[in-house]
Amino acid sequence: MEPSATLRTERLVLRRWRPEDRAPFAALNADPEVVEHLPRPLTPDESDTLAEVLDAELATLGYGFWAVEVVGGAPFVGFVGIRPVPFDAACTPAVEVGWRLGREHWGHGYASEAARAAVDHGLRLGLAPIVSFTVVDNVRSRAVMERIGMVTDPAEDFDHPNLPPGDRLRRHVLYRFPPRKTATT
């Protein structure tokens, strides 16, 4: 796949990052509700650095966490995509499907629509397994995982290795696509 791969859905474009994405990205990374299930909000500099890292991955791999825009609407709503899981855990090596959208863009089905396109792209590239994970009480993200056909097995839930024991965010639930084969399937 070409490094500058752009994905399109009926309503969305998943594309490379642009300089004008930085201000709205910094705003969503500073929004306490958006980062409720993350360790902390990002500073504007940290947000800019993350955008640079994500765009560099797209340039190198041809997939990653794309900037998302609404066709004929908002030029930037957040990011959605797939990328190698960046830590060691029982589920790795794997490719993660993930998203982070500005609060004003929640409830429109954008995360599900874009995540499905990203997963389909990953499967076409032969990337598997594709997983997603979040803190146990992140019901919004878990609903997206279920809407796009991912399944969870409580036996695979894990403590995030980058968070210290006792951290309220440490316990994570793992979802898979496609589901893991068992002796009965």
Class of domain 7-177 as given by CATH: alpha beta
Q: How far is CA 127 from the centre of its chain?
A: 15
Q: Which residue has the higher pLDDT, 172 or 1?
A: 172
Give this prediction's pTM: 0.92
Structure confidence by residue, pLDDT tens digits, 20-47: 999 999 999 999 999 999 999 999 999 9
Q: Nearest-5° angle of CA 46, CA 49, CA 74?
A: 90
pLDDT for residue 177: 83
Separation of alpha carbons 79 and 42, rounded Å:
15
Partners of 167 in the β-ladder = none
CA dihedral 79, 80, 84, 89 (to 10 degrees): 100
Q: How far is CA 104 from the centre of its chain?
A: 18
Burial class (CB in 10 A: 0-12, 13-18, 19+), 129: middle
Tell me what the pLDDT averaged over the chain comes to: 93
Burial class (CB in 10 A: 0-12, 13-18, 19+), 87: exposed
Q: Are strands 130-135 and 95-101 parallel, antiparallel or unpaired?
A: parallel
Asked if residues 77 and 101 have their Cβ atoms less than 8 Å apart, the reply is yes
What confidence tier does 1 reach under pLDDT thresholds 50, 70, 90?
A: very low
Where does the chain have alpha helices with state H? 22-30, 44-61, 110-124, 139-147
